[in-house]
Structures are given as C-alpha cells and as structure tokens.
Amino acid sequence: MNKDQALFAVSERGRALLDKLALQELTENNHLKILTALRKSDKLEASEAAAVLEVALARQKAIKSAKFAQAEKMFFTRDALEQASGEKITAHRRKRFQTLAESLGSAVAIVDFCCGVGGDSLALCPVGQVTGIDLNEARLVLAKANATALGLSDRFDAVCADVAKFSSANVNHSSTINSYQLAFFDPGRRDEQGKRIFKAEAYQPPLSTLKNWLRKDELPNLKGLAVKVSPGIDYDELRQLGLDCEVEIISENGDVKEAVLWFADLRSAGTDENTTRRATLLYGDKQFSFDDSQGIPKLDCQTPSRYLHEPDGAIIRAGLVECLGADMKALKIDDEIAFLTSDNLSNSPCARSFEIISCLPFSLKKIKQELQKLKARNLTVKKRGSPIVPEEFIKSLSLKRGDGEDLTVILTRVKNEHTAFITRAI
C-alpha cells in the first residue's frame, strides 16, 4: 500500500466504506465481487478499492486475533498487522517504561524507532509523549489514524526518516532529539519475500544500529532502551556485537512470542539485580517469571520416573530450565535435553506434564506394538533432541484408531540413547 492509498483508507470516505464492509464476512471467494462493487457502485479508483479491501481484511483478521481490543476502529495492512505487537505484550513491556518514567519525575519523551502502524507507540502513550519514526509513509499514515481512533493523537507524532541514519545532524526535528529519554526499537525481521530473518545483523535496519543511540552524542538524555527481537535470538551473536543487556523471552498462553533486549536503566526492571536472562509467561491475567539474577541452580539428572514435564518454550529459550526444575522439585532427564522428571505431580502452569506409561529404546516396531496394545485413540508425537519428523513418524506407524485413550509419544534422548516415552497428557 502506498501513501496515497493509506490516505484514502483513513479518509472520511474510506472509513465509511470500511464500516460498510465490516457488516459482511470477507472470504477469499468474495474479494473480487467486493472490489468490483467498490469500483462500480462506489465509483472508486482501482487503487482506492484495493486499499479499502486490504484494510478491511486486515481489520477483520485483527478482530479475530484479539491482538487489539479496539481493532474494529483501527487501520492495518496484512503485513503491518503481522508485525505489530499485541496489546497483552505491550502492556507487559509498558510497566518497565512506566516505572522508569515515574522515577525520572517529569513528563518523558519517548522515541519509537520503526513504529510501523503504531502497535508499540500507542501502548507507550500513557507513559509519555511518543514520536514514532518509520521509513514507510503509508504505515505512518495508518499509525496516525490509529492514534486518532484511540483518542491518543495529542500524545503521538509520526516522523518519516531512516532510523539507521538517525542523528541530530540529519533529522529535521533535531531539537526534540535531545529530549528523548526512553526509546523502543522494533526492526523488521522479514525479507522482501516475507521470509523470517534469523541473523540480527540482517534485520532491517541491523540490530547494531542501536549502538549509535546508546552513545551519548546521539541521544544525550537517553535513560533506557528496549528492543523487540525474534525469540530465537542467538545469544552468541549478541555477545559478538558487544551488546550488554538483559534478554527477556515472553510467551503468551504457552506460545513463545518475542524476546526483548533491555538496556541501561530499563534493564532488570529498574532493580540492582544483574539479570541477563528472564522468561516471562503470560497466562490470562496471571504472570510467571524466572530469571538468572541468583545464578542458575545445578540440577542433577535422573532416570525418568513417573512424570515428564515439558517447560514452557520461554523458559527453554531463556536457558532457565534448571530454575523451573528447582521450583517444581523435578530433575533433568539428560544434561542436554529440556525435559524434567519427577515422582510427584506439581501442577505447575509453567510446564506441560505427561504421565509415563512406558519407556522404550527407539524402535518403530516396538512402539507400534505398544500403542496397539494400548488401543491408542488419538496420537500426538513430540520430540526434543531426536531427528525424527513427527508427521512422518505417525504415517510410518500406520496405526488403526483404537478405542483406548489419547496418547502422546515423546521422542527424545536419554544418556545419548534415542528413547520413546509413551505417555498420557495431564
């Protein structure tokens, strides 16, 4: 979508058409019909009709995804919606900004580098005055319209600039640069074909761009910076880039969503703790957190006993499985494998637990015999540290559906032996 299309979509006419489209279900089958009607009945140019349909589709998706409580008033494109941070997570991140802003005393100025359609900027508006910067003019138009739709237009300003070249020397709002105390950075992590970018230096712009901002000559009053990155961020790459920060991996209802790098006074949630890794699990309105501020406990390995526990992905990616084990009074099954085991069930919301029915060395034939004996109904296969592809494994078992219970086969390694656990999920 280009800037003119975005301007049309957010205009009074565009909004009226969007309200009209909101009354009907948009499906792949009726796109063409809708485009034709927009052109013939509503007399739109092709580019205007395409823009209205794109925003209508993205809005419908946003409403279904529940990423934004007021999605029905907001403006997105499909890509921008996918990249935008959801409100549950932005509300969680905002708490640190709020705490630091309160300690700074006066109204704070915040800069949101790569603001897109404003998911993060708008979430930060309750904390201070936000300037969102992006290269994409259409997204900035949508971001501004979103601020207006949510009643935040007096708290948000949008600037079109290349954040990689951002400095008081070449940004024409240089007088405000001196005032930015808090910053957020959400670089693009998809290439032109929409494929995920894994290397942080291949992000757009590269992650190391933030080093300019941490240097005091670029943002002289900066007190804290937070950066959204992929949850699969490579800790070695961060080390190589010389980035000294806390890494927080966040999951929402069991799905790993993102990692945040916290720098300067936003690090360690404003405490003196020296946290380098944290896992935060958001479940409904509950929150669970693990970190390495007290070090990571040593956890012994034990031959799997009655229960196997699969930690929440945020804990695994933050490298804090031992902290959860200590909490659950569970041990590891192998030094290299992120499964825990215990004799007692702890009902921790931070792990999925499975009761072990049998444990066998990996053998397709033996696993099949055992599952047939148990008359498995639905079968789920999980793997960790095993090269087997679950879908292919299920196919090669070619099991008939039995009238027994639903079972989960866990393929993993114990003391370097490929092992299968036949379990029931708790």
Ligand X SMILES: C[S@@+](CC[C@H](N)C(=O)[O-])C[C@H]1O[C@@H](n2cnc3c(N)ncnc32)[C@H](O)[C@@H]1O
Which residues of this chain interact with ligand X, rule CB under 6 A?
Answer: 83-85, 114-120, 134-136, 139, 162-164, 186, 188, 204-205
DSSP calls for 74-121: ----HHHHHHSPPHHHHHHHHHHHHHHHHHH-S-EEEEEES-TTSHHH
Question: How would you classify the pairing of strands 180-185 and 108-113?
Answer: parallel
Closer to ligand X at the Cβ: 116 or 224?
116
Given the complex with ligand X, which of 67 and 317 has the nearer CB atom?
67
Looking at beta carbons only, is 136 or 348 nearer to ligand X?
Answer: 136
Nearest to 382, CA basis, from 354, 405, 402, 341: 354
Nearer to ligand X, 98 or 204 (CB): 204
Residue nearest to ligand X (CB): 119
- Please, what is the minimum distance in Å from the beta carbon of residue 98 to ligand X? 18
In Å, what is the CA distance from 404 to each residue of 2, 85, 315, 346, 425? 57, 42, 33, 26, 14
Q: What is the dihedral of CA 261, 263, 268, 270, to 10 degrees?
A: -140
Which residues lie closer than 8 Å to 115 by C-beta, 6 or more apart?
121, 132, 133, 134, 139, 140, 143, 158, 186
Of 120 and 265, which has the nearer Cβ to ligand X? 120
- The CA R_g of the chain, rounded to the nearest whole Å, is 25
Task: Give min distance, CB of 28 to ligand X, in A.
Answer: 25
Instruction: Quote the least distance from Cβ 117 to ligand X, whole Å.
Output: 5
CB 116, min distance to ligand X, A: 3
Work out how close the CB of 379 gets to ligand X at its nearest, in angstroms, rounded to a whole number.
Answer: 38
Q: What tokens appear for 357 in the block?
A: 């029915």
Minimum distance between the CB of residue 336 and ligand X, rounded to whole angstroms? 33
Q: Would you say 275 and 267 are in contact if contact means Cβ atoms under 8 Å apart? A: yes
Tokens 């279900």 found at: 25
Give me the least distance between CB of 196 and ligand X, in Å please. 12
Least separation in angstroms between residue 313's CB and ligand X is 21
Residue 128: CB partners within 8 Å, gap ≥ 6? 97, 101, 107, 108, 109, 110, 155, 181, 182
State which amino acid sits at residue 393: F
Residue 23 CA to residue 31 CA, distance in Å, equals: 14
Instruction: For ligand X, give the closer residue by CB, 121 or 348.
Output: 121
Place of tokens 């105390």: 181
CB closer to ligand X out of 218 and 355: 218
As measured in angstroms, the least distance from the Cβ of 250 to ligand X is 14
* Shorter beta-carbon distance to ligand X: residue 114 or 308: 114
Nearest to 181 by CA among 227, 131, 123: 131
Give the strand pairing for 277-283 and 286-291. Answer: antiparallel
Is the CB of 134 or the CB of 322 nearer to ligand X? Answer: 134
